Every structure is written in C-alpha cells, then in structure tokens.
C-alpha cells in the first residue's frame, strides 16, 4: 500500500512539472489518502500485535 502512495506521489510530481495542475492535485490527493489509510492500518496492526504478546 505504501508503494501505491509513493507511485501516486511520483505521478503527481511529474504531472506538476509538465504543467498538468488538475491532474497533479488529483494524484497528490490520492497519494495522501492512501498514505493515511496505510498509517491507520499500520497502527491497528501494531496495537493488535502488542496486545497479543501481553
């Protein structure tokens, strides 16, 4: 999932360099959303792993 966020971020940077502002904003928003989902799932997994050890 983190790889998808990085891919969308790279596409957003390339689109911004080439002057496609709307596409760059859309890809940046997608990258940010996927990154936040990754963080939430990572924290849920970490907490559940720590709870199983106790």
The domain ranges of the chain are: 2-53
Per-residue pLDDT band for 1 (boundaries 50, 70, 90) equals: confident
Which residue has tokens 């106790």? Answer: 54
Query: With 90 as the cut, is the pLDDT of residue 53 above it?
Result: no
CB neighbourhood size of 21 (10 A): 10
Q: What is the pTM of this model?
A: 0.77
Region 1-8 average pLDDT: 86
- Distance set, CA 21 to CA 4, 5, 25, 29, 38 (Å): 20, 19, 6, 12, 26
**pLDDT over 90 (residue 5):** no
């Amino acid at each position: 999932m983190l790889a998808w966020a990085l891919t969308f971020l790279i596409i957003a940077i390339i689109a911004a360099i080439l002057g496609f502002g709307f596409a760059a904003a859309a890809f940046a928003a997608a990258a940010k959303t996927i990154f936040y989902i990754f963080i939430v799932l990572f924290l849920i997994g970490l907490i559940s792993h720590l709870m199983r050890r106790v």
